Structure 1
């Protein structure tokens, strides 16, 4: 009976350690290694739009895939990640009311990685990508008042 409990405990600890580790992908950009993760502790997945417009979009999926819609309205599949350490800890710069990350992406059919700023404004419940694409991540039932922004 003790060996069964020990086996169960070992399995539980091992499974929790596997689950706790962030998925990390290594890339090379200009001969330098960079590491990426899709987990920054915030709800990054979603649709990013230019405020007041329905297109072009950037669709970010939690699994590191997505859709990047160009200004010409053509949509391209992409893979993406947020820069992190080799241990999976996201690298960011803390601002007065913001956190700034490096967002890496590669369009399907392109061999080149590109990067841009990914900004989180927790007080306004907004995330910005490419400077002008925004996603609200607050309570979906909350009514947004344009005057308060």
Structure 2
């Protein structure tokens, strides 16, 4: 009973992909929400919101609404592979109107304070974000 209570707070969403049930959450204990860009560019963006929604901007700069989550156990515990200097997660997303779930890699590199989505989209986190919000 105790272990179930500890993880009862995590919001878990169940999806079906290729006839198999998968679980996802938006809370992995890291600041996932934010704007992901190809380094050195300002567009196209992927905007990830903490509530599991977001915007996926295509190469032609049209924007599509999306929902997203990170693979977890049925109890809401994020599933990841620990690397030498990184953690790799499975990022699930579905564009509004598509009806199809897709997945890609979500990589966190703590030493560089960077998060990578789809291999080439990156977001800095940590001290740089705090400085940006306080500069007003």
Normalised by the size of structure 2, how large is the TM-score?
0.89
Counterpart of 1:88 in structure 2 is: 76
Once residues 134 and 20 of structure 1 are traced to their aligned partners in structure 2, the CA distance between those partners, rounded to angstroms, is 31
Counterpart pick for 1:117 among 86, 101, 105: 105
Q: Which residue does 1:58 correspond to in 2?
A: 46
Equivalent position of 1:5 in the other structure: none
The answer for unaligned runs of 5 or more in structure 2 is: none
Does the alignment pair 1:75 with 2:40? no
Q: Which residue of 69, 87, 103 maps to 2:91?
A: 103
Structure with bigger gyration radius: 1
Q: Which has the higher strand share?
A: 2
Partner residue of 2:18? 30
1:128 counterpart = 2:87: no
Q: Which has the higher contact order (CA 8 A, sep 6+)?
A: 2
User: Map of 1:39-58 to 2, 5 A cutoff?
Assistant: 39-58=27-46
Following TM superposition, by how much is the alpha carbon of 1:19 offset from its aligned partner in structure 2, in angstroms? 9.4
| Misfit runs of 4+, over 4 Å | 17-20
Moved more, 64-73 or 17-26: 17-26
How many angstroms does 1:20 deviate by?
Answer: 5.9
Where in structure 1 are there 5+ consecutive unaligned residues?
1-16, 143-149
**Helix, strand or coil: the match of 2:64?**
strand
Task: Label 1:89 to 1:19 Cα distance change in 2 as closer, same or farther (>3 A).
Answer: closer
Cα drift, residue 43 of structure 1: 0.2
